[in-house]
Structures are given as structure tokens and as C-alpha cells.
Amino acid sequence: MELADIGMAPRREEKVGTLEEAVGLIKNGDMLAFGGIHSHNGPMALIRQMIRSGIKDLHAIGNVSAGMPADILIGGGCIETFTVCYVGLEHLGFAPRFRKAAEERKIKIIDGDEIYYVLGLKAGAVGLPFVPHPPGHEARDNPKFESTYARTTDPYTGREVIVSPAIAPDVGIIHAAQCDPFGNVVHLGSVVADDLIAKASARTIVTTEEIVPLDSIKRDPKRTSIPGHYVDLVVEVPYGAHPLSCHGVYNHDEPHIVEYRDADIDAYLQEYVFGVEDHFAYLEKFGIERLMALRESL
């Protein structure tokens, strides 16, 4: 019982909303980070909703190893610039729309490695002015992308050091197994950099398999992977990562990722994005038996 229940105090506000409201927090031209890694934990339902809504000119900083979420955003015409650490489909090969757009110079690319990405987000989260890199990185092909790196002086040694910028996305979008109505997130598998994305982004949207009650969070606060104060909106979207996995809930649907890879992108988008009314209509295309077969606990 809360005092709010008997009218003696204001009630805590829930942050729960819809995919449509989530897209409303994303503006054309925003810098966008998305969570997960490779074929895992990407906020795919929200990404499909973004494409359906015609979001444009995004500067995606992706995630540290982006696959289908990056590729479909490019294929859907949402991306102007991509900060690339890795965009590919692991053992399934290159990400075809990313590769095509890059080779045809249809998108602007900023190449930054995992240090650039992770420490950049960390700096962006807290206002560190820049990230000084350890010595040795000068031996790589940094001169080819001077827009990525700059240089300053290490006052302790007098040496010149390579530095990279802080990264502070306008919007971070994340998918996780559980989240309470106030934004407290629980990852059942890898967090990867989802916590950093939430910290660094001006607005953070969490889609989740299941909105759990606050009491579930309080049972073991050490399981909470992202504290809710970083989260602006929570959307319950079962199978919201499909065809990627949601760690600890279901595996990735590899045959469908292959189907996506090999499809004509316009036909694919017509069938699975524009041609379906909403996320549940999308799921109906796969059927309960197939979706249930993907389920697997940790």
C-alpha cells in the first residue's frame, strides 16, 4: 500500500507507452544509438516502426557490432551518416545494404574502433571533453580518417597523443528481457554497451519482453542493469527483438535473417514492415509455433 492509494500523496508516474510514442521521441536528423550486439538484443520492433514512420537523415552510431538493425535502417532509407565500428552479419557474411550504400557512397561513414565507440559514449555520458588513447594507435591507418581522431599533448610525458571525441546521442533505443514501469531494466544475458547508451543519450527508450512490477526489481536490485532514471519511455513488446535473439528469452531466428539478407530489400520491407499494421501483425506472419520454438532460457 502506498500513501497515494489513499489519496495522501502524489503517485509515482509510470513511463509506459507505445511504439508510436517511442517513435515520437525520435526526430529526423537525430544521432541514434541502438543496443544489443550482432544478432542479439536489437530493438527490432521499434526499428521497424521507425522505418514505417519515415524517420530520415539519422546519424546512427549503431552498437559496437551492428548487424541487421544497421542494415535495415540503411535499407529503409533512415540513415544519412553511420559511425561504424562493425556492421556485418557474422558467419552470415557482409550486411548487404550497408555494403552497397558504402560502396555507392550513399551514406557518410565515420570509422571508429571499439575504443572510439565505448570510451566516446562514456565521455559523452559525463561531459569528459575528449578521450585520450593509449600509445601505439598511431601505427594504424588513422591518417586515412582524420575526421575521426585529433591530437593533443600528454602533459606528463610531453608526447603527442591521439584523441577521439565524446559521443552523446540524441536518442538511445534498447531492448531487454525485463523492465519495470519506472524504467529499471534487467538484462538476463549480456549487457554489452546498453548501459552506456542509456547513460550517454539525451533520451532513452527501452522496449522489453515484459514489464515487471517494481517489487520484482526490488527483490534483487543488483540484477538491475540500467537504473530507471536514465530511461524516458518503456514499451512492452513481446518478441520485440525478432528476428534477433533476446538474451535469456529466445534465440535468434537465423533462417529469417538469411531470408532478409537474400531478399530484395524493397520487397522485404513491403512484406514485413509497410505491409503489416503493427508488431503483432508482423509476429502473425511467423506463427506461434515458430516463435515458441525459438524460446530458450539461460
Residues 171-190 as x/- pattern, contact with other proteins by CB under 8 A: ---------x-x-x---xxx
Listed as own residue / partner, the contacts of 220-226 with beta carbons closer than 8 Å and 24 or more positions apart are 223/186, 224/184, 224/185, 224/186, 225/176, 225/185, 225/186, 225/187, 225/191, 225/194, 225/195, 226/174, 226/176, 226/183, 226/184, 226/185, 226/191, 226/194, 226/195, 226/198
Alpha-carbon gap, residue 108 to 106, rounded angstroms = 7
Binding of its own copies at residue 296 (CB under 8 A)? Answer: no
Nearer to other proteins, 52 or 201 (CB): 201
Binding of its own copies at residue 133 (CB under 8 A)? Answer: yes
Residue 91 interaction partner, one of its own copies, other proteins, none, beta carbon < 5-8 Å per kind: other proteins
Binding of other proteins at residue 221 (CB under 8 A)? Answer: yes
Nearer to its own copies, 10 or 221 (CB): 221
Considering only the stretches 128-136, 203-211, 265-273, 281-289, report the one whose residues sit in contact with its own copies under the rule CB under 8 A. Answer: 128-136
CA distances from 289 to 210, 224, 234, 284, 286 (A): 20, 31, 27, 10, 8
Binding of its own copies at residue 161 (CB under 8 A)? Answer: yes
**Positive/negative CA dihedral, 90, 94, 97, 99:** positive
Nearer to its own copies, 67 or 169 (CB): 169
Considering only the stretches 106-114, 125-133, 198-206, 262-270, report the one whose residues sit in contact with its own copies under the rule CB under 8 A. Answer: 125-133
CA distances from 139 to 181, 187, 201 (A): 48, 37, 32
Binding of its own copies at residue 227 (CB under 8 A)? Answer: no
Binding residues for its own copies, rule CB under 8 A, total 22
Positions 113 through 172 that interact with other proteins (CB under 8 A): 113-116, 118-119, 122, 124-128, 134-141, 144-145, 168
Binding of other proteins at residue 38 (CB under 8 A)? Answer: yes
